[in-house]
Homo-oligomer: A and B are copies of this chain.
């Protein structure tokens, strides 16, 4: 992939690979006979939201230097109490704020879209179809334009669902700006307007990103500018605590979208997080419990009719199955069929979405104007479809025993009048000329087995399937959950209609199972989706059927391709570290992938030297070596971080001669100086100005160097080094030589060195032994695209 790997290195690797099985002695000769000097530039940038950004790794490792140890020893019990109290307070605040945002979000969408549909319907009642279409499509266009403009110009990071970005963040990839206040505002406002504009996009994904944003901002809380609660938050100025907060935020986001507290926690656990602790389970559960309680209280208020059109919709929770249901073994085969077809459709969906996103990337790369134009085209196209397609459906007579008004006029409901006569309704309009939430509710509704015609359901399914693929990639906050649920539900209901009376299950139940199968086929989660669907439909008796359909659809879909979020992350270029090593990594040693040049510092280093190195490299960690006269032979002392070096330079705690400093150094600094600020707020080396005299002075790096870095011997298998790197959550892994006598450090491994593209570019012959996931491939299909 990277074009600049030198040939000699490859040749060396190839020789090594060929000689691997026969030449046993090769293990005792140093493998790094040719010291590579090419820096590893693969995967240093990625597409964040809609624009290309440089990315950094996060520091999850506990940084044990003398200074921090000293600081830690000086902490009192009150500080531990403060820390624990703040953890819980922040978890509470995350839940509270996310639930309020989620509620306002729904309220705004329901009222914006509601007013739009009421006005349009009223015009159609009067027969003014042309003007109705104009109003409908123009209002959609204006809303989409607004959403895409704020996204493109104010915060491109807010585009898309945000789940891939948050997932990458929780894996240790820091993309600038994804958790800024600007992104939060654009995400919320953009999501409301984009969803209101009748585009087939969801609001769950953006809610996850919103939750993560809220959590991250709370953790940074009251930055310097406002000086709020500074002292109590100081313990959260590191990536470990921030990761925990963001996990809680993501869980709260899903909980607020679906009013599904347990599902939210499980989603964060199963899909989002890369590291998980039992304590975090508890804390994120607390956040989602707060979300559930607050939402329940707010919805109680709304049910009394004080929230405009919201009150009638109920929203968020589609609790349509409070009645008891029964099913028997005869119902299992159709459910299995549903699972298999859902798996195939889901993987096809992923495949097509991937292709469309690649196409859109070419357009989006050009300029903001192109992006906005694309969004507007999709909006106009959608408006035409939504308004045009119902005309294809024939009007149906209202059922005499309908449980609600038929046709429904001026509010959400099952029986849309559209162009029909007073006692008739248009079944396709009930689905398509409606908000997504109402469409889902109609599809899930029971005792409406005769409401829809085959052709309407088929048209709706095809429309949703393709429209959602084309809508996701536009430059606006857009989620995937709701489109996938709508598509899956329509397909499930279609299958239910086909099976008809041969089954005990009603069509609404088939819609639920169809949604589950399509979600399973596309997103490949099991336990969390199962719980989310249970909490959505509020009936535990469905559990075995939903489990079955999810397991089947996931298994079938996994035979074809990967999970949708992983595909998007790969497309965006995030250096996501997988849990498992690929088999070819077992055939390589750590020494085979380490690339240079390596920058070392002495224990007591010249200021000018540090300044020069920091200005001329982008490395984030530097090994510190004790050399004679401090020690007898060169010995690895530890590793020091760029940010800490910058702080040292900024504070100018210099020594005039290269001798070890005394204890005074500790008094010049406080731990706050070394606290990690929010992404993008750190000090930059370019801002530091030193006089020539200062440059000739020295710094004693010992107290600020992490004296316990994780190390691997250069002959360590790459697969096992990856396991260490991933499980412990490292940013830098020092490689030490097997035979002493040379430099005490051979190199540093970072996240990028474990990326398959990098390894395969160094050792192209390994490509053939790449892990085949026993997947079914369609060479013809791949050639076509």
List A residues at the B interface (Cβ < 8 Å).
Answer: 21-22, 24-25, 27-28, 62, 64, 66, 69-70, 72-73, 77, 80-81, 84, 261-262, 265-266, 269-270, 276-278, 281-282, 285-286, 289, 292-293, 296-297, 300, 322, 324, 328-329, 526-527, 530-531, 534-535, 538-541, 543-544, 547-548, 551, 554, 579, 583, 586-587, 589, 626, 630-633, 635-637, 660, 663, 702-703, 707-708, 710-713, 715-717, 719-720, 723-724, 727-728, 736, 738-741, 772, 774
Name the residue of chain B whose CB is nearest to the CB of A583.
Answer: B72
Q: A282 near B707 (CB under 8 angstroms)?
A: no
- What is the bound-complex CA distance between A544 and B296, given in angstroms? 9
Which residues of chain B are near A69, meaning CB under 8 Å? 586-587
A707 in contact with B84 given A293-B548, A547-B285 (CB within 8 Å):
no
The distance in angstroms between the C-alpha atoms of A539 and B321, with both chains bound, is 12
CB < 8 Å: which of B72, B261, B711 contacts A713? Answer: B711
Known contacts: A632-B739, A720-B62. The answer to whether A292 contacts B526 by CB under 8 A is no
Q: A278-B579, A710-B720, A740-B740 are in contact. List 18 more A-B contacts (CB 8 A).
A: A69-B586, A80-B774, A261-B547, A262-B527, A262-B534, A266-B266, A277-B579, A282-B551, A285-B547, A285-B551, A289-B544, A292-B544, A293-B547, A539-B540, A636-B738, A707-B717, A713-B736, A728-B728
Find A544's partner among B81, B293, B583, B740 (CB 8 Å cutoff). Answer: B293
A723 to B635, CA, bound (A): 24
- Complex Cα spacing A543 to B633, Å: 64
Most chain B beta-carbon contacts within 10 A, residue among A81, A261, A328, A710: A710
Closest chain B CB from A701 CB (angstroms): 13
Copies in the complex: 2
Give the residues in chain B near A774, CB-CB below 8 Å: 77, 80-81, 84
Q: Which residues of B contact A635 (CB under 8 A)?
A: 28, 738-739
Chain B positions within 8 Å of A266 at CB level: 266
Given known contacts A28-B630, A80-B774, A663-B22, is B285 in contact with A526 (CB within 8 Å)?
A: yes
Query: Which residues on the B side are within 8 Å of A296 (C-beta)?
Result: 544
9 closest A-B pairs by CB: A740-B740, A289-B547, A708-B717, A727-B727, A708-B716, A708-B720, A293-B544, A292-B544, A538-B540
Among A527, A589, A738, the one with the most B-chain Cβ atoms within 10 Å of its Cβ is A527
Whether A530 touches B27, Cβ cut-off 8 Å, given contacts A70-B21, A720-B708, A739-B635, is no
**A72 neighbours in B (Cβ, 8 Å):** 583, 586
A631: which of B28, B64, B70, B715 is its contact (CB, 8 Å)?
B28
CB-nearest residue of chain B to A538 = B540
Question: Which B residues are CB-close (under 8 A) to A589?
Answer: 708
A517 to B28, CA, bound (A): 62
Which of B278, B544, B707, B713 contacts A27, CB < 8 Å?
B707
Minimum Cβ distance to chain B for residue A240 (Å): 12
Measured between alpha carbons, how far is A527 from B263 in the docked complex, in Å? 10
- What is the bound-complex CA distance between A329 and B526, given in angstroms? 34
Determine the distance from Cα of A587 to Cα of B270 in the docked complex, in whole angstroms.
36
B543–A292 contact, CB under 8 A?
yes
Question: 20 A-B contacts, Cβ less than 8 Å apart?
Answer: A24-B660, A27-B707, A28-B626, A64-B719, A69-B587, A81-B774, A261-B544, A262-B543, A269-B269, A270-B281, A278-B579, A282-B551, A322-B324, A540-B540, A633-B740, A635-B738, A707-B717, A708-B715, A713-B736, A727-B728
Cβ of A777 to closest chain B Cβ, rounded Å: 14
* Chain B residues with CB below 8 A from A21, complex form: 70, 73
Q: Closest CB-CB distance, A536 to chain B, in whole Å?
A: 10
Q: How far is the CA of A626 from the CA of B738 in the complex (A)?
A: 12
> A719, B62: Cβ atoms under 8 Å?
yes
Across-interface contacts of A84 in B (CB, < 8 A): 774
Q: Which residue of B lies closest to A274 (CB)?
A: B278
Chain B residue nearest in CB terms to A20: B69
A530, closest chain B residue (CB):
B262
Is B527 within 8 A of A265, CB to CB? yes
Asked if residues A720 and B527 are in contact (CB atoms below 8 Å), the reply is no
Q: What residues on B are CB-neighbors of A587 within 8 Å?
A: 69
Q: Which listed residue (B540, B579, B660, B717) contacts A535, Cβ 8 A?
A: B540
Q: Collect the chain B residues with CB atoms within 8 Å of residue A723's CB.
A: 62, 728
Residues on B with C-beta less than 8 A from A541 are 538
Complex CA gap A534/B81 in Å reads: 33
> What is the CA–CA distance of A22 and B22 in the complex, to the nearest angstrom?
55
Instruction: A428 to B164: give the CA distance in the assembly, Å.
Output: 58
Q: How far is the CA of A631 from the CA of B28 in the complex (A)?
A: 7
Q: Which residues of B contact A551 (CB under 8 A)?
A: 282, 285-286, 289
Using Cβ atoms and an 8 Å threshold, which residues of chain B touch A544?
Answer: 261, 289, 292-293, 296
A684 to chain B, nearest CB (A): 30
* B262, B289, B630: the one within 8 Å of A531 (CB): B262
Q: Is the CB of B64 within 8 A of A586?
A: yes
B277 and A276 contacting across the interface, CB-CB below 8 Å: no
Query: Shortest Cβ distance from A340 into chain B, in angstroms?
Result: 16
Complex alpha-carbon distance, A450 and B37, angstroms: 84
- Give bound CA distance, A637 to B741, whole Å: 17
Q: Tell me whether B633 and A739 are in contact (CB under 8 A).
A: yes
Alpha-carbon separation in the docked complex, A328 to B296 (Å): 10
The answer for the CA separation of A282 and B526 in the assembled complex, in Å, is: 6
Question: Is B278's CB under 8 angstroms from A547's CB?
Answer: no
Q: Are B292 and A547 in contact (CB under 8 A)?
A: yes
Shortest CB–CB separation between residue A88 and chain B, in angstroms?
9
Shortest distance between the CB of A537 and any CB in chain B (Å) = 9
In the bound complex, residues from chain B placing their C-beta under 8 Å from that of A660 are: 24-25
Alpha-carbon distance between A286 and B286 when the two chains are bound, in angstroms: 28
List of B residues within 8 angstroms of A530 by Cβ: 262, 285
Q: How far is the CA of A660 from the CA of B84 in the complex (A)?
A: 59
Kindly provide the distance from the CB of A694 to the nearest chain B CB, expressed in whole angstroms: 24
- Min CB–CB distance A541 → chain B (angstroms): 7
CB pair A297–B540 under 8 Å, yes or no, is no
A31 to B91, CA, bound (A): 43
Flag if B66 contacts A24 (CB, 8 Å). Answer: yes
A392 to B: closest C-beta gap in Å? 39
Q: Which residue of B lies closest to A61 (CB)?
A: B720
